[in-house]
Amino acid sequence: MTIMLYELAGRDAARPFSPHCWKTVMSLAHKGLEFERSAVPFTGVPEVENRFGKTVPVLRDGDKVISDSFDIALYLEETYPDRPTLFGGEGGVALSRFMEAWSASQIHTTIGGRLLLDIHAMLEPQDQAYFRESREARFGRPLEDVVEAGAERIREFGAKLEPLRLMLKRQPFIGGEGPLFADYIVFGAFQWARVCSAEELLEPDDPVSLWFDRCLDLHAGIGRSVAAAA
């Protein structure tokens, strides 16, 4: 039975944008697994797989249903050990947790606030209402204000990427000579920005841009198969 991935989308089902779902798309492609993709709107997430959980990605593989992009990567690593590794051993698993925390606290916080109105514009009306209400409750102010405040943080964004830039002087991927799940953790965030917004976050010759381009080329260009926002 083909693996099914449920992933977030707006009006256009062909433009999935969730950073976490993209981590799973890349994980599945990395393992060379066949999978189908089912687009789910925000208000449809709680219904997925008999109300399995509160978030996507959700993956069904035969009888198994799993959510959370990191847990899915661990599941794939354990279930398909003969295919290319996503972690390169136990140390890679542990240190990927630091990458996840780095990406969440340094990249998502900066990019995420900036994208709120772009994402809102991509949604159907009932999802727009849910999205505005839930995000305004989370941030404690109107989406418009969060986005405006985000403009300042975007200016500091280049400096936040210095660890990645410094590391890229030594090796082409976070995983070393080739990518690992750690790359997909960070890729997901940049792909989120690429699919939702035409705003350029980085200079094209920034080592981080060049790394992101390499990630877009991976696995028959599955990341590039969704065009950048125009």
Question: Which residues of the shown chain bind its own copies in the complex (CB under 8 A)?
Answer: 85, 87-102, 104-106, 162-164, 166-167, 170-171, 173-176, 180, 182
Beta carbon of residue 208, minimum distance to its own copies (angstroms, whole number): 12
Q: Minimum distance between the CB of residue 102 and its own copies, rounded to whole angstroms?
A: 4
- Provide, rounded to whole angstroms, the least separation between the CB of residue 164 and its own copies: 7
- The per-residue DSSP string of the chain comes to --EEEEEE--S-TT----HHHHHHHHHHHHTT--EEEEEE-GGGGGGHHHH--SSS-EEEETTEEEESHHHHHHHHHHH-TTSPPSSSSHHHHHHHHHHHHHIIIIIIHHHHHHHHHHHHHTS-HHHHHHHHHHHHHHHTS-HHHHHHHHHHHHHTHHHHTHHHHHHTTT-SBTTBSS--HHHHHHHHHHHHHHHH-----S-TTSHHHHHHHHHHHHHHHTTTTSPPP-
Select 93 or 229, whichever has its Cβ closest to its own copies.
93
The DSSP bridge pattern shows strands 3-8 and 35-40 to be parallel
Cα separation, 35 vs 26, whole angstroms: 11
> What is the nearest approach in angstroms of its own copies to the Cβ of residue 84?
12
Q: How far apart are CA 39 and CA 16, in angstroms?
A: 7
Shortest Cβ 224–its own copies spacing (Å): 24
- Closer CB to its own copies, 45 or 164, in the complex: 164
Least Å distance, CB 89 to its own copies, is: 2
CB of 16 or CB of 179, closer to its own copies: 179
Q: How far is the CB of 31 from its own copies (least distance, A)?
A: 15
Residue 35 or residue 102: which is nearer to its own copies going by CB?
A: 102
CB nearer to its own copies: pick between 143 and 154: 154
Nearer to its own copies, 72 or 182 (CB): 182
Q: Which is nearer to its own copies, 71 or 124 (CB)?
A: 71
